Amino acid sequence: MNGRAMIAGVIGVLTLLFALAPLYRGEVELPTAEHHLLHAAIVTGAALSGVLAWNPAFARTSRLAPLWLLIAICAPILAMFLMWPSEYAFLDRHPGGHAIEHLGLVGLGFVTGYSGQRYAAGIGWATGAALLIMSLLAPLGYGVSPPPAAIAALPTAAPAAEEPASPSDAGRGAALYKQSCASCHGTSGEGGLGPSLKNERSRKDIEQTARWIRNPAPPMPKLFPATLTEKDVREVSAFVQKL
Amino acid sequence: MAEGAIVFVIFVSVAAAAVTLMLLLANAGARKPLPQSIVTARGYAVRRWWFATVLVVAVAAFAATIPRLPYPRADELRSSPHFTVVAQQYSFVLPATVPVNTAIVFDVTSRDVNHGFGIYDPAGHVVGQVQAMPDYVNHLPMRFERPGHYTVRCLEFCGVAHAAMQGAFEVR
Amino acid sequence: MSAQRIMWLYILTGLAILVLMMLLGITMRMEQAGWLSYDATAFYSLLTLHGVGMLTAVALAGLGTLWYLVSRETALDARIAYLAYAFFIAGVLCVIASVLGHFGALWTMLYPLPFVGASWPGWATGTYLIGNLLVMIGFTLWCVQILAALLQRYGIRGMLGVEYIFRGRTFEAAGRRPPPPQMFAALIVSIDGFLASIAGMAIVIALIVRWADASVELDPLWAKNLTYFFGHSFANLTMYMAVAGVYVGLPLCTKREYHTSRPLVIAWWGTLTFVIFAYFHHLYMDFVQPQGVQFVGEIASYLAAIPVVVVTVYGGVLLVHRSGMRWSMGAMFLYAGMIGWVVGGTGAVLDATIPFNFDLHNTLWVPAHFHTYLLEGVVAFTLGWAFVNLEQRSGAVSPSLIRWVTGTCIFGGGALFLLSFYLAGSSGVPRRVAIEPPPGPAIAAVASIGAIVVLIGLLICLAEGVRLARLPRKETA
């Protein structure tokens, strides 16, 4: 038992105790970003322990070298998958499952450092650093997105103010068509990137047209209800019927 | 001259100079070889001046760009009128008109994927652009000195009808 | 011997993919010119494949070259080279499959694009993302293998040349030599490549998770940063892979020596740093990025040019100047590659200037500069290195007629092809559009002719390479 292995053992045990925290803390409620950070701490401790657990003075088994390298690279990838953000809410409520997930992270972290070091002296530090960087990138955007508050108040298509002269349905429908549809279906419905809408009334009645606009199949974009209101959809459908 | 044309001229001049110089250096005196030590000694003597020149040009270019940055300043954001631009697959929701010779700010965002809000002046030159990104609002300060019909094109790939994604506004 | 075989496996696979992707590129330019017509879905699928395929092609050729050169200094495990190769090929096959399924979010696959308003089926998105992950795993295997080998051979201070720079006198007095120049190229590619792969894998895993589980949301700005950090660094590093062929190949042509000097070591430290930070210039038009980061992007992009023009290319020109070098195919391509690098770099530096980028961002100027850099730089270096090897091996050189014809086609046709891109870009024609606004289509017609000439030149060149390869090996004393 040398000093190096002792340190590895102590770090490993501390990491395990930290990882099993859900068992004695019970249910928790954590924002995803903070949860990612705790996971970063777990994998770092485990990887450090893995790096120190192998003494590079031991003879290397070169026969398995490609395997050690592959494991050292794939373990961080699996750890990143294990940090699946949408499962966090479930884990917060189920301490047993949460502890098992943490044990998985400890295992993958340990394997990352240990296999790297088995491949070649010093490489465990590099693969361990890769795992640390990936787990520190996670809180910045992995299952974490800025609040959409700014977007909620955006204006919709409604070019009504632009066309005060023609208050009829088709007049406003024409303006909406020009705004939202003409780029693909042509300025007079002759088609382009999207299919021609000439004589669309023979294929779909006004109700069917409106239903399609509300819920189109790709690649046609879905503009309802974010851009086109219920009224807009009816007016643009009425216009399309006249093409 | 449009900015794009200026950049093109700079590029062609520098590239032509580089090509000519490098071809000359490769071919000049090729029939009369010199030992490597002599060429190296001469080259190293020139190199420090060359390094200084390149460094000075880089620093000067960087300094020259600072007053021309397109990014909004806090006072512009406070004092200028704001116009909202929303990009979506495959159209723009734009103001119909914006004032000429006035400092304005476009608040640009997207409802779905990444788009680009590229402004083309009546002559068809790009006069500025900003990304339209979901979940974020980019503030683009602009000042239009020419009245007329400005075309907007999407300048970030956004899907199958990206090429057709256009809009327009009037500067009056 | 096996190291040579691995190098040729990588280079020839790279060149084969290159020719196929050039064909795709030409059909796209012809579509934009109005000579061919296919629907936009097909166009963007082909554009996706062209981007991923080309980067993989030039990277494979460069990685093979570097792998062989490192193996001359220290033992490498050939099995890992084959393993990495298998990952690359599997990744490319996945990307091809996804494109056959009409995937068309381009290689940048900017979140949330591959998922929102997609005109392709979900399996194509997943296959594409998994293909990317496989390519990244292959690249990481390569980087870590080289990093480990350099660590074992030179130690961490030795491989960076720290003692050579700071304790030069005692270092040399002890009879020690710094690593040869190509080892610095290998080092920078493996360190920066490893860092880029970490970011690349992080974003691709996040996208795969989002693909499997739509309730996972990502931050679009975060996704954009990671995507471009990987994409820019990977594309940029292909040049530093290929340049190793110049360090070794040009001295063979000129019968002079290229030693590691102090400016060279310091230049590579600069490159190591600047490659990491230059990617910010892809986000100049994201005004929500912190402004300090935009400055860092511009400074790093400028400074990245200095090691090139003051040390690497400068040293290469000195090597050739008044050397009485015979212009073989290999020498021509290596030297022309340095010219292409400088010209493409000029376009890049102009585009990395924020006020210019305000007009040029996402116009055809962007493909203009990186096509110069990749076609007349990286591909030229690869061809040059391959021909130097063939010439050394057979002791023969190609007839000067073939050299003139291929040179005129690849560099003359290339000039036509590339100037069209620059002209269209500076006129505001957007990149990545199936249908270009004027003057795009007229310029695309000229570009198509240029590109076809380049392809003809390349095919003649490859045929000549095959001829040289089949000549008997030169008797060596």
By C-alpha distance, the chain C residue nearest A67 is C80
Does A164 score more than 60 pLDDT?
no
Task: List the helix and strand counts (H, then E) for chain C.
Answer: 18, 0
pLDDT for position C38: 84
Say which of C112, C323, C354 has its CB closest to residue B69.
C354
Rounded-to-integer distance, Cα C350 and Cα B89, Å: 31
pLDDT digits (tens, 9 = 90+) for B111-139: 899 999 999 999 999 999 999 999 999 99
DSSP category for residue A142: B
User: Chain B contacts of C303, Cβ < 8 Å?
Assistant: 58
The ipTM of this complex is 0.96
pLDDT for position B165: 93
Does A163 score more than 60 pLDDT?
no
pLDDT for position C476: 62
Tell me how far CA of residue C145 lies from CA of A54, A220, C85, C186, C212, in angstroms.
19, 47, 13, 11, 32
Q: CB of C137 within 8 Å of any CB in chain A?
A: yes
DSSP letters for C345-363: HHHHHHHTSHHHHHHHTTB
pLDDT for position A165: 44
Does B12 score more than 60 pLDDT?
yes
Rounded-to-integer distance, Cα A28 and Cα A93, Å: 7
Say which of B84, B109, B160 has its CB closest to residue A193.
B160
pLDDT digits (tens, 9 = 90+) for C163-204: 999 998 999 999 999 999 999 999 999 999 999 999 999 999
User: Chain C contacts of B124, Cβ < 8 Å?
Assistant: 427-428, 437-438
Closest to C329 (Cα-Cα) out of C228, C467, C425: C467
Q: Contact C151/A85, CB-based, under 8 Å?
A: no
> C302, C359, C423, C436: best mutation site toward chain B, by most B Cβ within 10 Å?
C359
User: Chain C contacts of A66, Cβ < 8 Å?
Assistant: 77, 79-80, 83
User: Chain C contacts of A143, Cβ < 8 Å?
Assistant: 216-218
Residue A96 — φ and ψ, nearest 5°? -65, -50
Q: Contact A218/C221, CB-based, under 8 Å?
A: no
Stretches in chain C below the pLDDT threshold 50: 477
Q: Å from C433 to nearest chain B CA?
A: 5
- List all chains that touch chain C, counting a touch as 3 or more CB pairs closer than 8 Å: A, B
pLDDT for position A60: 62
**What are the tokens at A28?**
């928790």
- The model's confidence at residue A161, banded by pLDDT at 50, 70 and 90, is very low
The model carries a pTM of: 0.95
Rounded-to-integer distance, Cα C101 and Cα C94, Å: 11
The B residues from 116 to 135 touching A (CB cutoff 8 Å) are 134-135
SS3 B85: strand
**Among positive and negative, which fits the CA dihedral C4, C5, C7, C11?**
positive
Find all residues with CB under 8 Å of B47, minimum gap 6, and list them.
Answer: C263, C310, C314
SS3 B82: strand
Rounded-to-integer distance, Cα A91 and Cα B128, Å: 48
Q: CB of B114 within 8 Å of any CB in chain A?
A: no
Find all residues with CB under 8 Å of C404, minimum gap 6, and list them.
Answer: none
**Among positive and negative, which fits the CA dihedral B19, B24, B25, B27?**
positive
Q: Å from A37 to nearest chain B CA?
A: 23
Does A126 score more than 60 pLDDT?
yes
Q: Å from C146 to nearest chain B CA?
A: 31
Q: Contact B91/A183, CB-based, under 8 Å?
A: yes
User: Chain A contacts of B111, Cβ < 8 Å?
Assistant: 151, 154, 226-227
Say which of B93, B165, B166 has its CB closest to residue A227.
B93
Sheet of strand B97-98, all strands in order from the earlier edge strand to the far edge = B97-98, B166-171, B148-154, B115-120, B126-132
* Contacts of range A158-163, beta carbons closer than 8 Å, 24 or more positions apart: A158/A229, A158/A232, A159/B96, A161/B96, A162/B96
Q: CB of C118 within 8 Å of any CB in chain A?
A: yes
Q: Residue A183: how many CB atoms within 10 A of its CB?
A: 24
Rounded mean pLDDT of B3-24? 96
Q: Å from A85 to nearest chain C CA?
A: 7
Peptide bond into B72 cis (omega under 30): no
**What are the tokens at A123?**
């490489």
Rounded-to-integer distance, Cα C324 and Cα C328, Å: 12
Residues B96 and B170: beta-carbon distance below 8 Å: yes
- The model's confidence at residue A229, banded by pLDDT at 50, 70 and 90, is confident
Say which of B89, B91, B109 has its CB closest to residue A154.
B109
User: Chain B contacts of C321, Cβ < 8 Å?
Assistant: 25-26, 28-29, 39, 43
Rounded-to-integer distance, Cα A38 and Cα C225, Å: 23
Q: Contact A69/C80, CB-based, under 8 Å?
A: yes
**Beta strands B82-88 and B103-110, pairing class:** parallel
What is the number of CB-based contacts under 8 A between chain A and chain B? 59
Say which of C41, C141, C213 has its CB closest to residue A73.
C141
Is residue B143 left, alpha or beta, with left meaning phi > 0 and alpha meaning psi from -120 to 50? beta
**What are the tokens at C463?**
């045929």
Q: Contact A85/C216, CB-based, under 8 Å?
A: yes
Q: Å from C189 to nearest chain A CA?
A: 15
Q: Contact A219/C223, CB-based, under 8 Å?
A: no
Q: Å from A204 to nearest chain C CA?
A: 22
Find all residues with CB under 8 Å of A70, minimum gap 6, and list them.
Answer: C83, C141
**For residue A180, what is the enclosing H or E element?**
helix A169-180
- The model's confidence at residue A61, banded by pLDDT at 50, 70 and 90, is low
By C-alpha distance, the chain A residue nearest B159 is A219
Does A195 score more than 50 pLDDT?
yes
pLDDT for position B1: 62
Q: CB of C77 within 8 Å of any CB in chain A?
A: yes
Residue A46 — φ and ψ, nearest 5°? -65, -40
DSSP category for residue B105: E
**What are the tokens at C43?**
């166009």
Q: Contact C310/B68, CB-based, under 8 Å?
A: no
DSSP category for residue C322: T
